Amino acid sequence: MTTTTRDRTRTRMQWSLGLMALVPTISGAQQVLLGAGAVPGNKSQVSAVIDGELRYANVFKAAVGPIILSRLGTVEDSPAVTAALGAVFAGGLARLWSWRQAGRPHSIGMVAIALEVGVVPAILAWRRRFAIQGAGSR
């Protein structure tokens, strides 16, 4: 891979991860502020306990984005980015489990699952290939 191609690929990866990092940051912050009101569906069925748990859990979801954004300079080999993306993937698996136990989620939840269990592993594989190619050219 030439230096110019590598630089373009790295920039694309940084932009892709940067844009993707905004999703959990914005939705997590929204759910912390609005609780169950930020989730599609019938809010009247949500107890105070569930609302509190939802807000608490979304603090961590909101934290994932800034972690990724802070490490974009070392996007290809940052353990923090790998851990954050791993947490997003695990969250997608938890949503799949919920789907199995509680029923089909809202279409917004379906999109989230697709991103978390489909796109995240693809990005992890892309980062790994990029890092390996870079190590081979040194």
Write down the domain spans for the chain.
3-136
**pLDDT at residue number 137:** 59
The mean predicted confidence, pLDDT, of the chain is 91
Provide the pLDDT confidence category of residue 3 given band limits of 50, 70 and 90: confident
Element (H, E) at 88: helix 79-102
Task: Please give the Cα distance from 4 to 89 (Å, whole number).
Answer: 31
**pLDDT at residue number 138:** 53
Give the percent of the chain with pLDDT over 70: 96
Contact, 20 vs 78, CB < 8 A? no
**pLDDT at residue number 2:** 80
Return phi, psi of residue 125, to 5°: -65, -40
**pLDDT at residue number 29:** 96
pLDDT above 90 for 40: no
